[in-house]
Amino acid sequence: MADRWYDEDDLANIRRWFEGNQDSASEKMIGELEQAFGEALGAEYVVAVGNAMYGLQAALQAIYIKPGEEVIVDPIVVFGGLAAMYCNAVPVFADIDPRTFNMSPQSLRERITPKTRAVICTHFGGLPCEMDEIVSIAREHNLTVIEDCAHALYSRYKDRPAGLIGDVGVFSFNHRKQLSTGQGGIVTFTNEALYKEVRRLNFGRVPERLSWNGQMPGPVAAIALSQLPKSRKYVEDDHRNARLMNDAVAGCDWIAPQFVPAHSWSAQHLWSAYYGGEERGIPMDDFRQVCIEEGADYFLFGFMPKDWKGIKASPSYAYPVFTEPESCPHAGGGRRYEPVRCENAERISPRLINTTLSPIRQERVERLAEGLHRAVRRFA
C-alpha cells in the first residue's frame, strides 16, 4: 500500500511536545529526531531544519561563499539555483543525462571555472546521481558537493545511502515527500567542519554569526519522530508502485521511463518518463487527452508545466526568478545570472511525463497505471 498513516503515536508525540513546552523541555525532541534519523541512515552528523530550502542555503553559507562566486546546479529542479542566489552567488546550470534526468558529470566538468565553489546535484525522482564521478571531479577542483535528497530518502548508490556520499545531504519533509510532516527537513554531513558550521548557523535565539533562522519547529519534530519508523515502508511501497507504472508502458518504444542503473536503488518519489510520441506522429496533447479519458488524470506533462508569463514546461533557468533578477550589487560590475544552454534539458523537460508516488493512495496508483496502459494501447 502507498498510503501514509497517522495514528495515536503521532498524537501522543504532539501531546508530549505540548506537555514538555511548559518548561522548554520540548526542544529536546529536535535532538531526539536528529539522533533517530542519524541511526536510520547511518549518519554521524545530523541537523534538523525548518525546510530543505534552508538546508541547501545553509550549506553554502557554511563554506563562506562570496557574492559573485559560482555554484553548479542541475537544470530541472529549481532549488539549487535558488540556494545560490540567496547567497548572492551565481547559479551555473549543468546539463542532464538524457536517460536518468540527473546531472551529467561531463557537463559538470565543462562548467567549472576559477569562480566555482560548490556543486548542488539533485537526485531526481529518488534516483542517485552518478556520485563517484561527480565527487571525483569536485575533489580535483576543491569543490563542496551538496546532495539534494528531497526525493531520495533511503535511496542508495553502490550500496551507499544518498546524502552520505558528498559533503552534505539535504532531505525534505514537506507534505508531498516520503516522510511527510507538512514542512521541515534534515541535513546530513560527512564533513565534520561543515556540520559544526551549519549547527552555528541554525539558531533558535541568538546566532553566533549572521544567519536566517532555520530551526525546525518542535511540533514538526514530534510528528517526524513518530513517522520515521514508518517511513522505510512508505519508500518501499513507492519503489514497488513504480514497477506498476513501468509495466504499464512495457513494450512501448516511445515512452522511456527514467533509467535506473544496476548499481543504484531509487526511492521513486516520482515516476518519470520521456515522451517520444511526437517522433512517431503522436502529439503530446493528443496523448494527454486520451490519458484523461482512460482515467490516468494524475500526470503532469512536462516538468513544472505552468504557463507563467509565457514560460511553459522548460528548464528551470527559463523561469522568471532567474531571467528577471536585478543585478547583484555586490558581485562587482553588476554581473547578471546568465544561464548556459542545456540541450538535453531543453529537449527533455517539456516532454517529461511524471507523477508523485508519495503520498498517493494505493487504489489511485493502480487506477493510474491501468489507465496509462489503456492509453498506450489505443495508439498501438
Kindly state whether residue 315 falls inside one of the protein's structural domains. no
Is the separation of the CB atoms in 71 and 89 below 8 Å? yes
Same domain for 248 and 219:
no
pLDDT at 341 over 60: yes
Summarize the confidence of residues 53-75 as an average pLDDT.
Answer: 96
pLDDT at 7 over 60: yes
CATH, residue 141: 3.40.640.10
Asked which of 230, 250, 272 is the last residue of a domain, the reply is 230
* Reported confidence tier of residue 265, pLDDT bands at 50, 70, 90: very high
How far is 53 from 214, CA to CA, in rounded Å? Answer: 9
Kindly state whether residue 353 falls inside one of the protein's structural domains. yes
| pLDDT score recorded for residue 106 | 98
Query: b vs e for 66-79, b when ≥16 Cβ sit within 10 Å of the residue's Cβ?
Result: eeebbbbbbbbbbb
Kindly state whether residue 27 falls inside one of the protein's structural domains. yes
User: Which position has the higher pLDDT, 305 or 196?
Assistant: 196
Cell digits for 328? 547583484
Summarize the confidence of residues 5-10 as an average pLDDT.
Answer: 89
User: Which position has the higher pLDDT, 109 or 20?
Assistant: 109
Q: Distance from first CA to last CA of the chain, Å, rounded?
A: 31
CATH, residue 296: 3.90.1150.10
| pLDDT score recorded for residue 89 | 93
Q: Which of 150-154, 226-230, 315-319, 349-353 has the lowest mean pLDDT?
A: 315-319
| pLDDT score recorded for residue 107 | 98
Point out which residues pair with 90 in neighbouring strands. Answer: 70
How far is 57 from 124, CA to CA, in rounded Å? Answer: 19
User: Which position has the higher pLDDT, 331 or 151?
Assistant: 151
Summarize the confidence of residues 344-354 as an average pLDDT.
Answer: 93
Count of structural domains, the chain: 2
pLDDT at 329 over 70: no
pLDDT at 295 over 60: yes
Q: Which of 140-149, 213-222, 243-252 has the lowest mean pLDDT?
A: 213-222
Summarize the confidence of residues 324-338 as an average pLDDT.
Answer: 60
Is the separation of the CB atoms in 276 and 249 below 8 Å? no
Kindly state whether residue 223 falls inside one of the protein's structural domains. yes
Residue among 149, 139, 137, 65 nearest 94 (CA): 137
Q: Which of 7-16, 220-229, 327-336 has the lowest mean pLDDT?
A: 327-336
Please, what is the average pLDDT of the chain? 91
pLDDT tens sequence across 179-230: 999 899 999 999 999 999 999 887 667 777 888 888 899 999 999 999 999 9
Cell digits for 323? 531571467
Summarize the confidence of residues 281-304 as an average pLDDT.
Answer: 89
* Reported confidence tier of residue 337, pLDDT bands at 50, 70, 90: low
Distances (CA, A) of 164 to 96, 128, 134, 190: 22, 11, 14, 6
Same domain for 123 and 34:
yes
Same domain for 238 and 211:
no
Summarize the confidence of residues 262-289 as an average pLDDT.
Answer: 95
pTM score of the predicted model = 0.94
Residue type, 328: C
Q: Where are the alpha helices (DSSP H) in the chain?
A: 8-20, 28-41, 52-62, 79-86, 105-111, 131-140, 192-201, 218-248, 284-293, 320-323, 343-348, 362-377
Is the separation of the CB atoms in 290 and 378 below 8 Å? yes
How far is 93 from 80, CA to CA, in rounded Å? Answer: 10
Residue among 208, 170, 203 nearest 188 (CA): 170
Same domain for 93 and 138:
yes
Same domain for 96 and 206:
yes
Asked which of 184, 212, 230 is the last residue of a domain, the reply is 230
Is the separation of the CB atoms in 66 and 327 below 8 Å? no
pLDDT tens sequence across 124-138: 999 999 999 999 999
Same domain for 218 and 251:
no
* Reported confidence tier of residue 332, pLDDT bands at 50, 70, 90: low
Kindly state whether residue 314 falls inside one of the protein's structural domains. no
Kindly state whether residue 186 falls inside one of the protein's structural domains. yes
Asked which of 200, 230, 260 is the last residue of a domain, the reply is 230
pLDDT at 333 over 90: no
Kindly state whether residue 312 falls inside one of the protein's structural domains. no
Percent of the chain with pLDDT over 70: 91
Same domain for 150 and 261:
no
| pLDDT score recorded for residue 359 | 81
Same domain for 34 and 71:
yes
| pLDDT score recorded for residue 328 | 61
Same domain for 139 and 28:
yes
pLDDT at 77 over 80: yes
Residue among 289, 277, 285 nearest 380 (CA): 277
Same domain for 100 and 153:
yes
Name the residue range of residue 256's domain: 232-306+344-377
Q: Count Cβ atoms below 10 Å from residue 25 Cβ, excluding itself.
A: 12
Same domain for 276 and 135:
no
Q: Please, which residues have CB within 8 angstroms of residue 95's CB and are 6 or more apart in sequence? A: 75, 103, 104, 107, 342, 343, 344, 345
Kindly state whether residue 110 falls inside one of the protein's structural domains. yes
Same domain for 259 and 178:
no
